[in-house]
Chain A
Amino acid sequence: MIASLVSLSACDREERESRGRPLAEAAAGGPLVSTLRAGEPPHPRPDPRAAEYENNAYAVSQGQKLFQAMNCSGCHAHGGGGMGPALMDDQWRYGGNMEQIVATLDQGRPNGMLSWRGRLTAQQMWQLAAYVRSLSAQQRQDVLPGRADEPSNTEPQTLRSREEMHSSSPAGVQGTAQ
């Protein structure tokens, strides 16, 4: 009885928001080249949606699916990096929290990271962000996917040790990246 009650509480890790919330970024008119300005705080405004997707097994696995489908591996490999920066290390050029990753996906970044605004829905970007954070084991251990959907030369994420985030400020890692 107690065991079944305890196991019920584990269902939280897969709670699903099937539609996602309407887009905030669709409101902006015209293409946005960059919102980055010298001297501005690096954090996008905290978003309550981050908590829904963070530490959510369903969001992480959907993100994994999208990571393959949208060919993120083309530049980032399976998190190991190639043309694009590695995602499984402890360095984040543009910040490594949920809001910052979604902002990176939404706006695109210099030197090749394209903007997915209008091409992925907000929900899909949050799911991708959840997966990207799982690559360096920033997510709870029990929500990580035990296996990759495709052959991969990296160990399963559940065996990966958590990389401490060096700095949440992009300026802190600018010089050290790659």
Chain B
Amino acid sequence: MSAWLNGIQSATSGAGLHDQQFNGLFLLFLGITGFFYLIVIVALIAAIILRRRRTGSEPLARAALFGWVGAVVVGLAVLSAASFLVDRRVDAATMGRPPLKIELVANQWWWDVRYHGASPSDEVHTANELHLPVGVPALVTLKSNDVIHSFWVPPLAGKQDLVPGRTNDILLLPRRTGLFRGQCAEFCGTQHARMALDVTVESLPDFRRWQRAQRAPAFAPRTALAQGGYAYVTQRECANCHNITGTPASGRFGPDLTHLASRRSIGAGTYPMTRGHLYAWVADPQGAKPGNNMPYIGFEAQDLHAVVAYLQSLK
């Protein structure tokens, strides 16, 4: 979709351990099965020609049969061994290191993200973005609130479905830093295409810094305009669905807004996080992402200015 959200979703970039290992395995499978495919085609052509000339000999056919069976046995043995080795290697790379525990809940059409810690006060609650430290395994628990979604960050690992009423999980091990775009990979309704997940892989100190910032309650509004926005957001429609930690707004049905302005996108990758796009989103969410569950409020102009000023202060 939009270039501003990390452009290409390449499944062959090998930015994650799983992606890299399985990519190698895929190429090996492709090579060996391709080789056998060629043999079959060559044998087919040879058979047609030999049949026409009626010059087939019994010993040649016997040799071909033994050769074929031998090649199949060797090919399958190589593929089995390679699968086994890749499985062991992935296991060895992730074993013995406590993984980062993340809970990802899919909703129509956004991602609810929770980082679990040693105690409840270590928890980080955010939405539509995933921050991962490089080289640390992350165990992502996958749940869904409504329909079947699918978690897919192509450069890191394969797909895993999020099924309502069930818990799935997927292990990630990012190997290099960067920004990656994840995408819901199971059709889940009208806005399936605009259900992106912004993934940031960063160094461990950067990740710790981000985590500390996210644990803090929301900043108090400073300007008079932002204070007006604070009053509107916490007392009117917004607070029914959105949570802003440290304020009376504690709804749980929409994305957490505590550090909204620190994210890179609005509406699960619908817009980049800019002042103009915040206006567009808040004034008319149904124009930005038709059919999503955020209703059209019909703000008065002064309320709109105030709400946007407040949301922008939620760094």
Chain B: number of interface residues, binned into ranges: 10 to 19
Is residue B240 contacting chain A, with contact meaning CB distance below 8 A? yes
Contacts of B253 in A (CB 8 A): 69
Contacts of A65 in B (CB 8 A): 293
User: Which residue on A lies nearest to B286, using beta carbons?
Assistant: A18
B306 to chain A, nearest CB (A): 15
A121 to B285, CA, bound (A): 13
Is residue B26 contacting chain A, with contact meaning CB distance below 8 A? no
Q: Choose from B240, B241, B291, B297 the contact partner of A18 (Cβ within 8 Å).
A: B291
A20 to B295, CA, bound (A): 8
Is residue A72 contacting chain B, with contact meaning CB distance below 8 A? no
Q: Choose from A22, A70, A123, A149 the contact partner of B295 (Cβ within 8 Å).
A: A123
Report whether A121 and B240 are in contact in the complex, using a CB–CB cutoff of 8 Å.
Answer: no
The answer to whether A119 and B236 touch (CB under 8 A), given A18-B290, A65-B293, A69-B241, is yes
How would residues 157 to 177 of chain B score, 1 for a CB under 8 Å from any chain A CB and 0 otherwise? 000000000000000000000
Is residue B284 contacting chain A, with contact meaning CB distance below 8 A? yes
A118 to B303, CA, bound (A): 13
A152 to B53, CA, bound (A): 76
A-B contact count (CB 8 A): 38
28 A-B pairs in the complex with CB atoms less than 8 angstroms apart: A18-B286, A18-B290, A18-B296, A19-B284, A19-B286, A19-B287, A19-B296, A20-B295, A20-B296, A23-B298, A26-B298, A62-B293, A65-B293, A69-B240, A69-B241, A70-B240, A118-B235, A118-B237, A119-B236, A119-B237, A119-B240, A120-B237, A120-B240, A121-B296, A121-B298, A123-B295, A124-B295, A149-B146
A120 to B253, CA, bound (A): 13
* Prevailing SS type, chain A contact patch: loop
Is residue A16 contacting chain B, with contact meaning CB distance below 8 A? yes
Interface size for A (C-beta < 8 A) is 18
Q: Which 6 A-B pairs have the closest CB atoms?
A: A19-B296, A18-B286, A121-B295, A22-B298, A69-B253, A19-B286
Q: Which A residues from 58 to 98 make CB contacts under 8 A with B?
A: 62, 65, 69-70
User: Which residue on A lies nearest to B235, using beta carbons?
Assistant: A118
A121 to B236, CA, bound (A): 10
User: Which residue on B lies nearest to A18, using beta carbons?
Assistant: B286
A120 to B296, CA, bound (A): 10
Contacts of B146 in A (CB 8 A): 149
User: Which residue on B lies nearest to A149, using beta carbons?
Assistant: B146
A123 to B293, CA, bound (A): 12
User: Which residue on A lies nearest to B241, using beta carbons?
Assistant: A69
A123 to B296, CA, bound (A): 8
Q: Which A residues from 139 to 175 make CB contacts under 8 A with B?
A: 149
User: Which residue on B lies nearest to A23, using beta carbons?
Assistant: B298
The answer to whether A16 and B291 touch (CB under 8 A), given A118-B236, A119-B236, A119-B237, is yes
How would residues 221 to 263 of chain B score, 1 for a CB under 8 Å from any chain A CB and 0 otherwise? 0000000000000011101110000000000010000000000
